[in-house]
Structure formats: structure tokens, C-alpha cells
Amino acid sequence: MQELDDKGLRKHAAAVVRLLRKAYPEAECALKHENAFQLLVATILSAQCTDERVNQVTPELFKRYPAPADLAAAKRTDIERIIQSTGFFRNKAKSIHELSQRLTDEFGGRVPQDIEILVTLPGIGRKTANVVLGTAFGIASGVVVDTHVHRISQRLGLTKEDTPVKIEQDLMQLLPKKEWIDYSHRVIHHGRQVCKARRPLCDQCSLAKNCPRVGVSPDSSD
């Protein structure tokens, strides 16, 4: 694909959005949760960990501590024991324990629906805030940029940037706001199933005709 001007790039992005919508019409967040608080905790646990592993530990965690007040009152060592297999468990336990205390003391146990407030809470960065606002509340505060969105947006030629913040800025400029939430869900599914990191399955890809395969070596997609 030749270098595109701004109009051409927007047209390309629109085509990508249509193809993703057709391929993954029901795509949703893979982290199991029943409310915004559970999703917030699960997203913190998902750092440097698979969603599958998180989904294995959260049932026990949420059964014992279903609300922020319950986690706030828990012993941190008990939280660590439950989440140990997610990695970096001491830091994660500290974050969700302090987060639960803040939610209980300052917000009546409710998750704020404001990204500027969310990112000031323990363990929450812009990515986590975007996940929770988009999935739990339907608020398009930005575009979630995880490793799949990072990799695939570059391969599709939607960004030349290499940091999540700058990639998100590019995507927010290119994509209609109404697509911000679903774009990430669909790209994450696509990354797990088809556009894999080491050996993308380009011959099985519904986006192949629209993909310039930026950074993909010719033999990596055999």
C-alpha cells in the first residue's frame, strides 16, 4: 500500500472498521465481571498476565470480597494468596487494596465515571480507565491500546507511533468516536485468533486485502 494522505488514511481506517465489524460482530471484553468494580480489579490483574488466568482467580476473589468495602477490609496477604498466579501479585494486591479503600472512603463504593478521576486512583492508568469506562459504562473516553491493538494498528498502517499514548492519539483522530470501544475489542479478538505476534495467519485474514503488513516479513505469515 502506497503512502496515504489524510483523506486516504481515513478511508482506509473506515474500511478496516467495516471489516472488523463484519468479522467480529459480537466482540466484547474477555475479562469476566458482573459490575464496574469487578472489571476494574480484573483489568488491574490482567497486567502482564493473560485474561484466561485472571478469569481463573477472580471467581474466588469476588466471592470472598464482592464489594469495595469487603476488599478494603481484607488482609493484603489473603488477597496476595488468591491472585498470586497472575504475577506481580504483591504490587497488584497493594493496588486493588488501596483502590478499594479509596472507592469506599471517597466515592461510596462506586466507580467514578470520569477518566480524569479514575487515573488518579491506585493501579489505574489511562488504558485501565478506558477499558472500564467503555465496557462497563459505554463511555468512549479513548481507545484501549493493549499489545494486540499496538501491534495490529501498526501492521494496518493506522499509526507509525510506538507508544500507547501516541498510538491512541492517532486512532482517536482516525476513528469515529462511536467506534472507539468496539475497535479495541475486535482488534484484540483478531490478534488472538489471526494476526498473531510471531506468525500472523495472513492467508486466513479477512483484512488481508486492506492490510499493508507493515513490519511483517514475507516468511512470517506462511
* CATH number, position 94: 1.10.340.30
Q: What is the mean pLDDT of each run of 10 residues along the chain (222 residues)?
A: 77 97 95 97 96 97 98 98 98 98 98 97 96 97 97 97 97 97 97 95 96 85 54
End-of-domain residue from the set 85, 109, 137: 137
* CATH number, position 152: 1.10.1670.10
Let me know: does 139 contact 114? Beta carbons within 8 Å. Answer: no
Q: How many domains does the chain have?
A: 2
* Residue type at position 82: I
Q: How confident is the model at residue 2, as a pLDDT? A: 52
Q: How confident is the model at residue 7, as a pLDDT? A: 87
pTM of model > 0.85: yes
Q: How confident is the model at residue 3, as a pLDDT? A: 67
Domain that holds residue 129: 36-137
Helices (H), ranges, 24-139 = 36-45, 51-64, 68-72, 76-83, 89-107, 115-118, 126-137
| Backbone phi and psi for residue 46, each to the nearest 5 degrees, phi listed first | -75, -10
End-of-domain residue from the set 137, 168, 192: 137
* Residues designated catalytic: 127, 146
Cα–Cα distance, 31 to 43 (Å, whole number): 7
Kind and range of the H or E run holding 85: none
Same-domain pairing of 13 and 48: no
Whether 104 is in a domain gets the answer yes
Q: How confident is the model at residue 207, as a pLDDT? A: 97
Whether 94 is in a domain gets the answer yes
| 37's grid cell | 468494580
If you count DSSP H runs as helices and E runs as strands, how many of each does the chain have, helices first? 11, 0
Q: How confident is the model at residue 217, as a pLDDT? A: 81
Q: How confident is the model at residue 4, as a pLDDT? A: 75
Same-domain pairing of 147 and 133: no
Same-domain pairing of 129 and 189: no
Cα–Cα distance, 29 to 213 (Å, whole number): 26
Q: How confident is the model at residue 221, as a pLDDT? A: 57
Whether 220 is in a domain gets the answer no
